[in-house]
A and B are shown apart, each in its own frame.
Chain A
Amino acid sequence: MILSVLTPEKQVFEGEVLSVKVPGALGQFQVLKGHAPLVSSLKEGRVFITIVNGGYQLHDEASGEMQKVEEPRDINFSVKGGFIEVINDKISLLASGVDDIVQS
């Protein structure tokens, strides 16, 4: 699955992921491979991304550009709200107020 996280100001994440857990309007849910086409709004909360293997791109605050990260690490961050669209194993996460990005 390809996930792309977009905010009005920049692209935050782009890469191959195993699963994404988001705070949906009706409760938290997880998107895995083969998920049915879905559009949902998000409320305030944390997004958890599980990564299969490295080679994803993450926005780098210092340089202001996308930076390639090779080693697989799980990422989570908080959003103020937004939307998620899933279609054909492509996920677009439109979020406002992406903050506090943690890689573990």
Chain B
Amino acid sequence: MANLKEVRDRIASVQNTEQITKAMKMVAASKLRRAQQAITQMRPYTNKLNEMLRNILSNLGGDANTSFGVERPVHSACMVVITSDRGLCGAFNANILKAAVAKIESDYADVRANGKLSILCIGKKSYDFFKKNYADCKILNDFVDLFHDLSYDNVARVSNKLMTAFEDGSYDSLSVAYSRFKNPAVQIPEVEQFLPVAKMEAGEEKKSGMLADYVFEPDKDELLEQLIPNIIRAQFHKFMLDTHASEHGARMTAMDAATENAKDLIKELKLQYNKARQEAITNQILEIVGGAAALENG
């Protein structure tokens, strides 16, 4: 009989868990929708910005000489690691951290050995991880809670700071580990070089011969100087938005799996419960029948 009660309690507890995971999945789904919308709404802006850049570059007939594209020998570096604040989203954070660690162990190994590697943590999970495992590096935690406010201006504070640090020579190389959002079920952990920026190419306009004779105001070089920081800021903002959407996608998938799992478990426990119940009834009947038989015989 004790067995029966035990199984009943377990069913109740698993049912509770199922309810929680189901609710979390629903919350993640609605947050994901908003995060995805932010990405789509940003796209026209970045597309146009890049188009302008290509236009100017093809009119310049060469590549841009920007202070953000200068390749220096890497004496000091900064690794920016963007993870979520919370867990319960499967291997999401672990994957980003793994990618970041791989980059540190390979490209930044020398810098780290010289004690010149800084790690800028965004998201509580990355801060917890690096504080514990990378005590020899400089861990920057000024922006750990950046996810609390994802407005463009707020995120721009970080990219502005990084750009200044690159320009004044505090860092010779900056990389960002984040999660690229492909679709709600697929998140790709990636490490991208943030600064110096990759060489900017003029692109297809040149080939197509559709080169418009633009008037540039104030002039091309000055325009570029203003355009490029904007593009860098937009890129960093996209890293944040992508990771944000990925987090909710990953949590949705993880919670969906957990709910399914709970359902299976409940099914199995119910079967066990019914078996135990049937057994108890059979035992009782046997006792009664046995007792009756004993009386008759007596």
Residues of A at the B interface (CB closer than 8 Å) are 4, 6-11, 24-26, 36-41, 83, 85, 87, 92, 94, 96-97
Which of chain B's residues have a CB closer than 8 A to the CB of A40? 215-218, 223
Asked if A41 contacts B217 (CB within 8 A), the reply is yes
Question: Which residues of B have CB within 8 Å of A24?
Answer: 217
B217 nearest in chain A by CB position:
A40
List residues of chain B with CB within 8 A of the CB of A4: 44
By a CB distance below 8 angstroms, the chain A residues around B213 are: 36-37
Q: Which residues of A contact B212 (CB under 8 A)?
A: 37, 87
Q: Note all chain A residues with C-beta closer than 8 A to B109.
A: none
Interface size on B, residues (CB 8 A): 30
Q: Determine if A6 and B45 form an interchain contact, defined as CB atoms under 8 angstroms apart.
A: yes
Residues of B within 8 A of A85 (CB): 48, 51-52, 55
Chain B's closest residue to A35 (CB) is B215
Contact B217 A38 (CB under 8 A): yes
CB distance from B223 to the nearest CB of A (A): 6
Q: Is the CB of B152 within 8 A of A96?
A: yes
Measured CB to CB, the closest approach of chain A to B244, in angstroms, equals 14
Q: Tell me the bound Cα distance from A26 to B51 in angstroms.
A: 23
- A-B pairs, 3 with minimum CB distance: A40-B217, A37-B212, A8-B152
CA–CA, A94 to B231, complex, Å? 12
Q: Which residues in B have some Cβ–Cβ distance to A below 8 Å?
A: 38, 41-42, 44-46, 48-49, 51-52, 55-56, 151-153, 212-218, 222-223, 226-227, 230, 233-234, 237
26 A-B residue pairs with CB within 8 Å: A7-B152, A8-B45, A9-B42, A24-B217, A36-B213, A37-B212, A37-B213, A37-B214, A38-B214, A38-B216, A38-B217, A39-B52, A39-B55, A39-B216, A39-B223, A40-B216, A41-B217, A41-B226, A83-B230, A85-B48, A87-B212, A87-B214, A92-B48, A94-B45, A94-B49, A96-B230
Inter-subunit contact B42/A38 (CB<8 Å): no
Q: How many pairs, one residue from A and one from B, have CB atoms within 8 Å of each other in the complex?
A: 77
Given the known A-B contacts A6-B48, A36-B215, A94-B48, are A11 and B226 also in contact in the complex, defined by CB atoms under 8 Å?
no
Contact across chains for A25 and B217 when beta carbons are under 8 A apart: yes
Please report the C-alpha to C-alpha distance between residue A94 and residue B45 in the assembled complex, in whole angstroms. 7
- The residues of B that contact A38 with a CB separation of less than 8 Å are 214-217
- List residues of chain B with CB within 8 A of the CB of A83: 49, 52, 223, 226-227, 230
**Separation of A20 and B214 alpha carbons in the complex (Å):** 18
A36, chain B: closest CB distance, angstroms? 6
- Evaluate contact between B152 and A11: CB separation under 8 angstroms: no
Known: A92-B48, A96-B152. A8 touches B214 (CB 8 A): no
Please judge, given known A-B contacts A85-B48, A87-B212, whether A10 and B41 are in contact too, CB under 8 Å. yes
* Chain B nearest Cβ from A92, distance in angstroms: 5
Alpha-carbon separation in the docked complex, A87 to B237 (Å) = 28
Assess whether A37 is in contact with B215, with CB atoms less than 8 Å apart. yes
Q: Which of B38, B41, B52, B218 contacts A11 (CB 8 A)?
A: B41
The CA of A41 and the CA of B220, in the complex, are separated in Å by: 10
- Which of A8, A10, A39 touches B234 (beta carbons < 8 Å)? A8
- In the complex the two chains form, is B214's CB within 8 Å of A39's CB? yes
How far is A29 from B233 in the complex, measured between Cα atoms in Å?
27
Q: Chain A residues with Cβ under 8 A from B233's Cβ? A: 8
Q: Are B38 and A9 in contact, CB atoms less than 8 angstroms apart?
A: yes
Taking CB atoms, residues of chain A closer than 8 Å to B237 are 8
